[in-house]
Structures are given as structure tokens and as C-alpha cells.
Amino acid sequence: MTRIRIITAYDGTDFSGFQKLPGKRTVEGELSRAISELCGEEIGIIGASRTDSGVHALGNVAVFDTSSSIPPERMALAINTRLPRDLRVLASESCEADWHPRKHASIKTYEYRIYNGRIEDPLGRRYRSFCPYSLDVEAMDRALKALVGTHDFTSFANPASQVLQRGGDAIRTIHEAGISRLSEGGFGGGAGELCIRISGSGFLYNMVRIIAGTVMEAGTGARRPEDMEEILRARDRRSAGMTAEARGLFLRSIVYTEERQGPADHPKEKDI
């Protein structure tokens, strides 16, 4: 048996998320079907990030074990011939038999894209959330910067988080956070396409979407950037803003930073 590591990209719009669900079209379901067909054996997939329904990925990671003799580096192109067009394997390689995509320290980078205009861009509606109100981009950047560092992110997590439900803590580290403009103005006014980018050691359930929703409220003036510290301190989901729509969220990349930790040394469990 060989363990193969793959990097995947997908348009989340028409998937019911990553994780296999009976009767639903999921990324894991499509991958395991395609790879099982290709290898002629039943293949199980272990994904790094179980993205929600509607969330996109440009660099999710997964592994599977196979006895196929197809060279590991050729797997990507061979799998793609059996996948729908909204899901691609970007690269494949062999890895150690005990390498696990959720049990190694990593830095995940997410992007949250917003279209800020008076009228929505009909060509971006699958990949950006829409905000028709005037946004202070500089205030949004300051709100994001207030989250950098190691904090208890209970206020920015969905209380249904499996990690929190099992008694895990909400302490996470955000390495970088900021916002940039990707276009020069929106239809009818506004800032155009904005991109929030957040890198961190791990994220709780809905954490990036709740951060994006709260930061948008800092952009409209409904909150002040300085309020972010108080929201963190409250450790209460109700103190933060709305959960921003799934369609603006992209898992951009996962970079593994360390060798596997010993079996007795479980790294922090991750929701996404």
C-alpha cells in the first residue's frame, strides 16, 4: 500500500461541503468515487479541511491509501479525467504511511472576498459576497489587525463547533490578517472587489466567516475597529457580528510546518 497526498481545488457552489453525506454531492464523495474507479479498489479519503457547503478551495490537502501501480506523480492527471469540472486535483505525490493531513502543525490561509458596489457584479456572484453599503476599508484592516496573535476565539466560533462541544479550548494563533482591493471601484460606486486574507495555526467552526461578518460591520461603521479586543474578551458568540455568507470564502493554502508530533503529543484538534 502507498499513501498518496493530493492537493485539490474546487468551486464549492454546487457541493454540499467537503465531507461525505449520504445522498449529497460532496467533494469527498466525488474524490473517493473517482479514485476508486481509477484504482479498481475501494478508496477512503482523509481531508485536511472539511469545508462547509458553498465554500471554495484553491489548495485543500487530502490523503488516500492505494495498492495501484500508477506512479504517484501521475495520479493527479489520471484522477482529473474522472472528476466533474468543478473539482480538480492539482498535484499528487507519495508520502509516509502515517502522515495525516489534520495531525500535523500547519498554517492555513483563508481568503474572504467581498464585492462592494451599489449594484452586484453578476459575473462574481458565485465567488464573492455582496455588500451594497459604503465600506471604510482602512477601518476593516485595523479591525483585522486587532486579531493577530494568540487569543481565545470563543466569540468568533459557532457554538456548535465539535471541538468546543467536546470540551476543547478556543485558543488559536492568527499570524497575519489584512484586506486588499482587487479592483478599482464597484458598479454604481463602492470599493469594488475586496479580499480579506487570514493565516493561522487553526480555525474553529465558522471562525473565518464570523470574523469576515464582524469586520464588514466595522467597515460600515456599525462597530469600531477598537471593539475587536472587547469582543475577544467577552468569549461569547453573541458579542461578535453576523456569519458572512459561504460563497465569499476560499481555503487558499495549507502549509505544513513541522514533522508529525509523537502519538502521545496530540496537536490541537481542528474543526476546519
Measured from the CB atom, is 78 or 105 closer to a second copy?
Answer: 78
Measured from the CB atom, is 9 or 105 closer to a second copy?
Answer: 9
Residue from 71, 149, 159, 188 in contact with a second copy (CB under 8 A) = 188
Q: Where are the alpha helices (DSSP H) in 81-175?
A: 137-145, 162-165
Residue from 86, 136, 152, 245 in contact with a second copy (CB under 8 A) = 86
249 three-class SS: strand
H or E element: which one contains 6?
strand 2-10
Q: Where are the beta strands (DSSP E) in 216-271?
A: 249-256
Check 52, 141, 227, 271 and give the catalytic one: 52
C-alpha cell at 44: 477512503
Please state the separation of Cα 45 from the chain's center in Å. Answer: 18
Q: Which of 152, 149, 2, 155 is nearest to 67 (CA)?
A: 2
d(CA 241, CA 169): 21
Measured from the CB atom, is 84 or 149 closer to a second copy?
Answer: 84
- Please report whether residue 181 would count as binding a second copy according to CB under 8 A: no
C-alpha cell at 45: 479519503
Residue from 24, 33, 100, 125 in contact with a second copy (CB under 8 A) = 125
d(CA 12, CA 55): 5
Residue from 34, 39, 63, 89 in contact with a second copy (CB under 8 A) = 89
Q: Where are the beta strands (DSSP E) in 117-248?
A: 129-131, 149-152, 171-181, 192-200
Report whether 64 contacts 72 (CB < 8 A). Answer: no
Q: Which of residues 10-29 bind a second copy (CB under 8 A)?
A: 10-11
Tell me which stretch binds a second copy (CB under 8 A): 60-68, 103-111, 118-126, 164-172. 118-126
Whether 265 is catalytic? no
Measured from the CB atom, is 65 or 86 closer to a second copy?
Answer: 86
Residue from 35, 39, 62, 87 in contact with a second copy (CB under 8 A) = 87
- Please report whether residue 121 would count as binding a second copy according to CB under 8 A: yes
Least distance (Å) between residue 22 CB and a second copy: 24
Residue from 36, 53, 80, 220 in contact with a second copy (CB under 8 A) = 80
Q: Where are the alpha helices (DSSP H) in 175-226?
A: 207-220
Instruction: Give the footprint of a second copy on this chain (CB under 8 A).
Output: 9-11, 56, 58, 76-77, 80, 85-91, 118-123, 125-127, 187-188
| Catalytic residue numbers, as ranges | 52
